[in-house]
Amino acid sequence: MLACASLCTVLVVGFVASINLAIPELAAGSLHPSSAQLLWIVDTYVILFACLVIPAGALGDRAGRKGVLLSGLVIFAVGAVVSAAAGDVAMMLVGRAVTGVGAACVLPNALAVLIHATEPSRRPHALAVWAAMSGLGGLIGNLGGGAVLTSGSWRALFLAVVPLAAVCVIWVAAATPRSARSHRDLDPRAAVILTLATLVLLLGIIQGPEQGWGSVFVIGAFVCSLVLFAVWVIGELRVPHPLLDPRLFAVPALRAACLGMLIVFFGMFGFFFLNASLMQYGRGFSVLQTGLGVMPLSVPLLVGTRYVPALVGRLGDRSVLVAAFLVISLGIFGLALTVQDSYLAYAGWLVVVGVGATLALPALTAAIAAALPREQAGVAGGLQSTTREFGSALGVAVIGTILTSRFVHDLPGHAPAAARGGHIPRTVAEALTAAPSHHNAVITAYTASAGTALKVVALIVLAAGALVVTEMTWAARRSRRARA
């Protein structure tokens, strides 16, 4: 049962990372996506995954966890087939959306069936293994995606997950016992409003470089998103059993820990999105070499995670998080400085980022759990999943937007094309097609733009990390005064 739940989890989490490896091929392929459409191909899956993971968990509690898990695997496979067969970007996005819905059904219910199928004495071990596999899902997705793309096209990447989903369906059907259902309100209205608010927010961020940050479209998207988030909060405050109670974020320690989790995944998955193209375009790596090239980041996660709880117990979560955010931001800034240096230097900074993530993730997980009563452990788990995936989606959108803006500015011939009112390439594939004789200049512009984007992300992580630690310090002082 543990192996089955872990495979289901790796399947949906790894799919977040593996698609990044296919970006260069997608950009140059028959779909001809724009830079904004490339971001949506990545983010559509993650957004639906993030916004529906809590409603899907509630659906499993009410309709049956095993049944929702099986349905989610089938939906996931159907969405992958639709994406593989896509003849245009619109169909690709439909497939990605369907796959995201399936993933949202799989993740919380895989954990739920594992909890209900495991004896209490063995449950801590099972949960630790499951958490480790969910954390390694991105690495496995990079390795698996690289292996598939080496011998096949981007369509093969989508088709490759279908037999894996089929294996999971058979395994879950055979090995998973049914558990007692519980009455839990689903509140689909809140789930729809939250998803729309997130989509509109990212629409404004992604379309900013093309439409202009002061355009009516982009400003309207931000205002609409703000209104939708406000409607969602007001609605959740009025219902007796909200799906995700906004009042939880009035708890300073919980609010800070959720922001911290979001920022860590913002930096990590924003980097994953950029790194896949950077290694293939800038270093000339194959997709398999690109997948293997990110492995140094995982070494600290594999070796050091088990020691972090003891370190938190000795030094305190705030001290560990201060070190974590400093190390992550330093590592990302170091990567920005070595985008054109040897891979060995680049790999060294990957290890530094991995050390920061190793310190941050267990400390933040424990902080979220400690901020809520034990009877709300399910809510804590849902918050972790939601903030992780939302941070991933936001990171891809922000770093992709910065990268595109800077690349267009640094591109050879940008000013003459703009003056003539001609089309300005916004992806490396478009630029190389338009001016194949300027290959080296285009790649240089791209790597320089990637360095700029990484520096901005490093500063965002550092500033947000300082905010997280400050609020956690304030919450601790407030708690001590209340006890006194």
pLDDT score at 137: 80
Q: What is the residue whose two structure tokens read 């404004």?
A: 204
Here the tokens at position 284 are 């000339």
Alpha-helical regions (H) of 212-307: 216-238, 252-282, 287-293, 298-304
* Class of 244-412+436-484 in CATH: mainly alpha
The gap between the terminal CA atoms of the chain, to the nearest Å, is 47
For the record, the structure tokens of 254 come out as 């919980």
Could you tell me which of 428, 400, 452, 137 has the C-alpha nearest to residue 270?
400
CA–CA dist 81, 92 (Å, integer):
10
Q: Are 453 and 271 in contact (CB under 8 A)?
A: no
Determine if residue 446 is left, alpha or beta; phi over 0 gives left, psi from -120 to 50 gives alpha, anything else beta.
alpha
The number of residues in the chain equals 484
CB 72 within 8 A of CB 103: yes
Token pair for 459: 């500063």
414 CB-contact burial (10 Å; exposed 0-12 / middle 13-18 / buried 19+): middle
Q: Which fold has domain 1-186?
A: Growth Hormone; Chain: A; (1.20.1250)
Helix 123-151 to helix 89-117 angle (10° resolution) is: 150
CB atoms within 10 A of CB 425: 21
Q: Which residues contact 214 (CB under 8 A, 6 or more apart)?
A: none
Q: Where are the alpha helices (DSSP H) in 371-425?
A: 377-410, 414-420
Phi-psi group of 426: left, alpha or beta (phi > 0 → left; psi -120 to 50 → alpha; rest → beta): alpha
Say which residues have a Cβ less than 8 Å from residue 256's Cβ, sequence separation at least 6: 367, 467, 468, 469, 471, 472, 475
Each residue's pLDDT, cut to its tens digit, for the chain (484 residues) gives 888 888 998 999 889 888 888 888 888 888 888 888 888 898 899 888 888 888 888 788 778 888 999 999 999 999 999 999 998 999 999 999 999 999 999 988 888 888 777 777 777 677 667 766 776 787 788 888 888 988 878 899 999 999 999 999 999 998 887 776 666 666 788 888 988 888 888 888 888 767 777 888 889 999 999 999 999 999 988 888 787 778 888 888 888 888 998 999 899 888 988 888 889 888 888 888 888 888 898 888 888 877 888 888 888 888 999 999 999 999 999 999 998 889 999 999 999 999 998 888 888 877 877 777 655 555 666 677 788 888 888 888 888 888 888 888 877 665 444 434 456 677 787 787 777 778 888 888 889 999 999 999 999 999 999 999 998 888 878 777 877 7
**Predicted local confidence at residue 185, as pLDDT:** 65
Buried b or exposed e, range 6-35, using 16+ CB within 10 angstroms: bbbbbbbbbbbbbbbbbbbbbbbeebebbb
pTM equals 0.83
Is 117 in contact with 129 (CB distance < 8 Å)? no
CA 389 to chain CA mean position, Å = 4
Q: Where does 73-212 show beta strands of DSSP type E?
A: none
Q: What is the pLDDT of residue 210?
A: 72
Q: What is the pLDDT of residue 378?
A: 55
The half-sphere exposure of 451 on its side-chain side, counting CA atoms within 13 A, is 16
Cβ atoms within 10 A of the Cβ of 480, count?
A: 9
